[in-house]
Structure 1
Amino acid sequence: MSKAASLAHICLAYAVALAVAAAWLLWGPDLALWLDALVADLLATLVVFGFSRYHHNSSFYDAYWSVVPPLLAVYWWAAGPLGADDVRPWLVTTVVVVWAVRLTANWVHGWPGLAHEDWRYPILREKAGRAELLADLFGIHLFPTLQVFLGMLPVYVAVTVAGRDLGWLDVVAFALGIGAVTLELVADTQMHRFVRDRQPGQVMDQGLWGWSRHPNYLGEIGFWLALALFGVSTVPTDAWWLFVGVVCMVAMFLGASIPMMEERSLERRPGYQDVIDRVPRLLPRPPRRRAA
C-alpha cells in the first residue's frame, strides 16, 4: 500500500474516532467538562484501537498523540466561561497548536506507510504472550491517551478558569513552550539529514545530538513543563497537582522510551557506546573528548 493510501486509512480512522467523540459530547450525559472530554477521548482511542487490530498495525495510534491535544484545548475554551478577549487561553492554545503541527508533520514526513509499524509495538505484544491484546489495548493505546490527558489538565485550567491576571510566569511558559518546540524541530531536522546521508554503522553525535543523546525528548519534556506553568500561573494554589502530567512524561521517557531506544541503538550500531560515554543522556552539556 502506498504512503498516500496509508495516510488516507489513518485519516478515515481518525475521522470515525472524532465523530464518536463528538457524538458523546453532543448527546452523552452532561458530566463535568473535563470528564466529558476524557470519556470522549477514551472512546476515540477505542475506535483507533479497532482500526489498529483490523489492519494488524498499532501505528494507527501514533499520530493520535499529537492530533488530540489542540482539539481538547479548543473544545475546553469554547465550552468554558472564558471569552476571546482573555489572553492566557490564546497563549497556551498557540503553544499547543504549534507543537501539534510540528509533531504531526514530523510523523507524516518520517512514516513510510502501513507496511511499517513502530518497532517497539511487536516487542511489547510478544512479551505479553497470550495477553498481547491487552498489552496492545492498554499499553499502546489507552495508557498514552491517559498520559497525554494528564499533561493537558493544566491547559484545561488555563482556558476555563478566570484565575490570576496575566503575569511574568505566562511569559516564561510561552517562551519555554515555543523554545521547546523549536528545539524539537531543529533536532529532528538534524536527524533527518543524518539519516539521509549517513554511512553504514555511523552514529549521530553532531549538532544538538552532540550535547544531548535525546534532544527531541528534552524538547518534549520542556513542552509539557510549559503547559504546567500556564496552569500554575492561572491558579497558583493548585501547583501541587498541575505537575503530575509532566512528571509522568519524564518517568515514561527515562524509564521506558530512552532505555528501549538506546538498547536498540547498541544492538544495531556498536559504536553508539562511544556516544553514551561522551554525550549526556538528556540534559545538555559539551561532549567529552574521545578517549585517546
Structure 2
Amino acid sequence: MTYRIGGNLAGSSRPAGFAVVTLAYLAAGLAAWAVTAAVDGHGLLVTFYADLAATLVVFAASMLVANASLYDPYWSVAPAIIVIAWVALSPPLTGRQIAVLVLVLAWSIRLTANWALSWRGLSHEDWRYVQLREQRPAGVPWWLINLGGIQLMPTLVVFAGLLAVWPATTVTGRPWGLLDIIAVAVTAGAILLESTADRQLHRFADDPANRGAIIDRGLWRHSRHPNYLGEITFWWGMWLFGLAAAPNWWWTVIGPVTMVLLFTFVSVPMMDRRSLIRRPAYAEHMRRVPALFPRPPGFRG
C-alpha cells in the first residue's frame, strides 16, 4: 500500500519535493547514526548495518509519498558520507586517504547535482520504476519490488563497491606508490568521462532540432552508454586504491565486477529496450555502436 502526502501540492513543486527528500535523508542519517552508536563490531560490518537502516528509512519515505525516485540520490550521497566517516575515524591523514576522499566527493557532488537538475519533484518518478510497477507479476505487492529491486539491491551493489574503499581509507601502513598514481588517473578519468557524457547528452536533448533523434556525436559516437562506462570505471579506480593500501584485500574485486554485471545485464538492456520502442532506427544504431567499450580503431563490426 502507498500513501501520498500533500496531494498535488507536493508533487507539483520542486522546492517541496526537495524538502521531502532532505527530511527523508536527514531521518536516514539519524537512523544510521543510531545503529553505529548501538552496535559493536568490526567497523565495516557496523557500516553495513547502518547503511541498511538508512535504506529502510528512505524506502519508508518513498512509500509514504508514493514515489520510488526518492531513493535515486542515495546511490551518490551515501558513499560520500561513508567515506568521510571512515577517513575521520582513521587518523593520521595520509595522501591516499586525501586522494580517495577528494575523488569520491567530486564524483558524489557531480552525480547528485546531475540528478537534482533532472528531477522535477514528487510528481516525477523514474520511468523504470513506473514500468516495474505496471508490469509486476500478479500477486506481487509493489512494496516488495520497491524495497528489494529498487532500493536494497542498489544499496548492496554500492556497498560491494565500497569494500575496497575500506582498506584504502583505514589501512595506513603502506606508503604512496605507483598503483596509487594509476588509481588516481583511472578514477579521475572516469569522473571526467561520466561528466562529459552527461553534459553532451543534456546539450543534445535541450536542442529542439534533435527531438526524436538518436545521439551519435562526441563520446556517444563510440559508445551507446559512455556515462555507464564512466560509472563502472570509477569503481575499478576505487578498487585499485584498496589494492594499493592492502594487497590481501584483492578479493574486494567483487565490487567492480558486480558493477559490470549490473550495468551490462540490467541497466544497458533496459535503456536499449526503451530506446527501441521509442525510436525504431535505434536497432541500426545498436549494430553500429557498441554498448559500453569503444571498438578499436579500424575495427569493422
Task: Report the TM-score when normalising by structure 2.
Answer: 0.91
Report what 1:158 is aligned to. Answer: 168
Q: How far, CA to CA, are the matches of 2:137 and 2:253 in structure 1?
A: 31
Task: Report the TM-score when normalising by structure 1.
Answer: 0.94
Residue 35 of structure 2 is aligned to residue 24 of structure 1: yes
Q: How far, CA to CA, are the matches of 1:22 and 1:113 in structure 2?
A: 28
Post-superposition offset of 1:163 = 3.9
Q: How far, CA to CA, are the matches of 2:16 and 2:299 in structure 1?
A: 47
Q: Which moved more, 1:277-286 or 1:36-45?
A: 277-286
Q: How far, CA to CA, are the matches of 1:287 and 1:262 in structure 2?
A: 24
Inter-CA distance 202–288: structure 2 relative to 1 (3 Å threshold): farther
Q: How far, CA to CA, are the matches of 2:169 and 2:211 in structure 1?
A: 49
Local SS of the residue matching 2:215: coil
Residue 212 of structure 2 is aligned to residue 201 of structure 1: yes
Q: How far, CA to CA, are the matches of 1:238 and 1:199 in structure 2?
A: 47
Post-superposition offset of 1:199 = 3.4
Q: Which moved more, 1:218-227 or 1:190-199?
A: 190-199
Contact 1:211 1:286 in 2 (8 A): no
Post-superposition offset of 1:136 = 1.0
Contact 1:155 1:227 in 2 (8 A): yes
Give matches, 1:205-284, under 5 Å.
205-239=216-250, 241-284=251-294
Q: How far, CA to CA, are the matches of 1:289 and 1:274 in structure 2?
A: 17
Report what 1:107 is aligned to. Answer: 115
Q: What number of residue pairs does the alignment pair up? A: 287
Q: How far, CA to CA, are the matches of 2:297 and 2:214 in structure 1?
A: 14
Residue 159 of structure 2 is aligned to residue 136 of structure 1: no
- Return structure 1 stretches of 4+ with deviation > 3 angstroms: 285-290
Inter-CA distance 266–289: structure 2 relative to 1 (3 Å threshold): farther
From 13, 35, 38, give the equivalent of 1:2: 13
* 1:84-136 alpha-carbon deviations (Å, 9 max, x no partner): 2x111111111111100110000011111111111111222332432232111
Q: How far, CA to CA, are the matches of 1:261 and 1:39 in structure 2?
A: 32
Contact 1:266 1:272 in 2 (8 A): yes
Contact 2:164 2:249 in 1 (8 A): no
Q: How far, CA to CA, are the matches of 2:137 and 2:216 in structure 1?
A: 34
Q: How far, CA to CA, are the matches of 1:77 and 1:281 in structure 2?
A: 36
Q: How far, CA to CA, are the matches of 2:115 and 2:138 in structure 1?
A: 29
Contact 2:168 2:242 in 1 (8 A): yes
Local SS of the residue matching 1:243: helix
Give matches, 1:11-90, under 5 Å.
11-26=22-37, 28-80=38-90, 82-84=91-93, 86-90=94-98
Inter-CA distance 286–278: structure 2 relative to 1 (3 Å threshold): farther
Q: How far, CA to CA, are the matches of 1:4 and 1:129 in structure 2?
A: 36
Report what 1:127 is aligned to. Answer: 136
Q: How far, CA to CA, are the matches of 1:155 and 1:9 in structure 2?
A: 30
* 1:46-77 alpha-carbon deviations (Å, 9 max, x no partner): 00000110111100000000001011111112
Contact 2:100 2:241 in 1 (8 A): yes
* 1:139-167 alpha-carbon deviations (Å, 9 max, x no partner): 11111111111101111111111342210
Q: How far, CA to CA, are the matches of 1:136 and 1:121 in structure 2?
A: 8
